[in-house]
Amino acid sequence: MKAITLLGATGSIGTSTLDLVARNPERFRIHAVASGRDWAKLADIARASSARVAVIADEGGYRPLREALAGTGIDVRAGEAAMVATAAEPVDLVVAAIVGAAGLAPTLAALEAGTTVALANKEALICAGDVMTAAARRSGARILPVDSEHNAIFQVLEHVERVSRIVLTASGGPFRERSRAEMADVTPAEAVRHPNWSMGAKISVDSATLMNKGLELIEAHHLFGVGPDRLGVLVHPQSLVHGLVEYVDGSVLAQLGPADMRVPIAHALAWPERIPTPVKRLDLAMAARLDFEEPDRARFPALALAEAALAAGGCRPCVLSAANEVAVGAFLDGRIRFLEIADVVAETLEALPAAPVATLAEVAAADAEARARAHSFAAHRARR
Ligand code: NAD
Ligand code: MG
């Protein structure tokens, strides 16, 4: 029986995780569930999953959550410090599925405690990859990738020193075939309508700008210890091949599967075993074709910005990611236009110097400064 702490329980990954846990009660039990603001949904989840602990990041959610769970015996906690302390409690697996930089401190706490982490919160590795992997090395904690491309690569990776290239596939998002002019006026509703995957709003917008794939290159660098020269991206509109590893002998191993996050989540939950999932099976005869093309960095400049940040290292990926979170938020709120997301990220990167980051405190400082700059660039654009 694996005891699981689920961070980000109310989100898209959290919901899929709970579905798999509920289908396998003999294998998994929920120790703690944690989320951001939605105390009512968290209360429902805590009850339904028989969690022992429920943590809400928003302190204002403490009272209503406690009242909603009165008489259940579930231990109710609130605030960032409680989130971090809960993540450090001994369990077999922490599923890190908070969105954005908010996931950094609890993910690090789990790794420092030596707990295996099923990582969906890619921002943890993008902003603080060296800090996270160093903590995992020190404690012996293992990071199991949940992001579908990285999970795919994890499944086919052996002898990393014999790898000549790792390729992440990208669906190309909803605007794959659009010109810049055709992307100028797209609405948030159009941008979050992903052709293949159902996901949270932020990552859906990141998929539409291709920033997601850039962030995933940085994630892959930290997960697999491979430099940018051996990492690539291929646009693959069907989203059936999730990742490819080419070896020095010319062999290419790829993982295929339906575009359903429950496949990689199930892999990470059950690893090193496998569990059945209810997902629709991959039918290659029905799919009929698998297309691949080079990404177009002129139409999707966010990808090139991320590649440059990866090459530069230090604080640059954190600045990129923080500025992107702000810019995506401004776009979703209707304050800036779609193409301005990459503009705000580029302006923020230009405004801030490169610097090394060795601790979570230094990462937090770089993150805060990047957010402040990005907010002012976004506000400036919004006023125009
Ligand atoms: P989501 O927006 O659906 O859910 C986010 C979760 O984080 C919610 O439970 C929310 O309450 C919680 N949260 C937000 N702010 C918080 C805070 N300050 N403290 C604690 N909890 C907080 O997002 P999602 O799509 O499930 O994505 C989660 C992570 O997984 C992201 O990093 C994303 O990039 C990654 N990911 C998601 C998918 C997918 O298919 N959804 C695929 C690959 C990777
Ligand atoms: Mg992905």
For residue range 356-379, list pLDDT tens digits in order. 999 999 999 999 999 999 999 999
Distance of CA 60 to the CA centre of its chain: 26
Tokens for 378?
């976004």
Determine the atom of ligand 1 nearest the C-alpha atom of 121.
Answer: 32
d(CA 355, CA 173): 32
Q: Please give the distance, rounded to the nearest whole angstrom, from the Cα atom of residue 168 to the centre of ligand 2.
A: 9
Res 194: pLDDT: 85
Tell me the pLDDT tens digit for each residue of 204-242.
Answer: 999 999 999 999 999 999 999 999 999 999 999 999 999
pLDDT in tens, 343-358: 999 999 999 999 999 9
CA distances from 110 to 14, 89, 123, 306 (A): 17, 8, 15, 27
Determine the average pLDDT of the residues in 146-163.
Answer: 97
pLDDT of residue 65: 98
Ligand 1 centroid vs 41 CA: distance in angstroms?
14
CB 231 within 8 Å of CB 273:
no
Partner residues linked to 144 by β-bridges? 118
pLDDT, position 100: 92
pTM: 0.97
C-alpha 233 to ligand 2 mean position (Å): 12
Greatest extent of the chain over all pairs of C-alpha atoms, in Å: 62
Q: What is the pLDDT of residue 78?
A: 98
pLDDT digits (tens, 9 = 90+) for 28-73: 999 999 999 999 999 999 999 999 999 999 999 999 999 999 999 9
Both tokens assigned to 111: 């790794």
How close is the Cα of 199 to the center of ligand 1, in Å? Answer: 9
- Ligand 1: does its nearest atom lie under 6 Å from the Cβ of 124? no
Domain 149-259+286-383 carries which CATH code? 1.10.1740.10
- At 82-119, the pLDDT tens digits run 999 999 999 999 999 999 999 999 999 999 999 999 99
Q: For ligand 1, atom 41, which residue shows the shortest CA distance?
A: 199
Instruction: Report whether residue 41 contacts ligand 1, using a CB cutoff of 6 Å.
Output: no
Averaged pLDDT score across all residues of the chain? 97
Cα gap 317→95, rounded to integer Å: 23
- The whole-number pLDDT of residue 232 equals 98
Ligand 1 atom closest to Cα of residue 8 = 9
Q: What span, in angstroms and rounded, lies between the C-alpha atoms of 320 and 233?
A: 19
Q: Which CATH code for domain 2-121? A: 3.40.50.720
For the cut 90, the answer to whether the pLDDT of residue 198 exceeds it is: no
Is the per-residue pLDDT at 196 higher than 90? Answer: no
Task: Tell how far the Cα of 187 is from the centroid of ligand 2, in angstroms.
Answer: 22
Would you say 323 and 367 are in contact if contact means Cβ atoms under 8 Å apart? no
Listed in order, the ranges of the chain carrying CATH 3.40.50.720 are 2-121
CATH 1.10.1740.10 residue window(s) in the chain: 149-259+286-383
Closest CA to ligand 1's atom 4: 11
Report the percent of the chain where pLDDT is more than 70.
Answer: 100
Residue 84, CA atoms < 13 Å, CB-side half-sphere: 9
Joined together, the tokens standing for residue 95 give 């599923």
Q: Ligand 1 in contact with 123 (CB < 6 A)? A: yes
List pLDDT tens digits, range 278-306. Answer: 999 999 999 889 999 999 999 999 999 99
For every residue of 277-309, DSSP letters joined together read: --PPPP-HHHH-----B---TTT-HHHHHHHHH
State residue 261's pLDDT score: 96
Residue 383 has pLDDT above 90, yes or no: no
Question: In ligand 1, which atom is closest to the CA atom of 123?
Answer: 32
> Strand 252-256 relative to strand 241-247: parallel, antiparallel, unpaired?
antiparallel
The pLDDT, as a whole number, for residue 382 is: 85
Q: Counting atoms of ligand 1 from 1, which one is nearest the CA of 215?
A: 34
Averaged over 156-163, what is the pLDDT?
95
C-beta of residue 274 within 8 angstroms of C-beta of residue 26: no
Cβ 378 under 6 angstroms from ligand 1: no
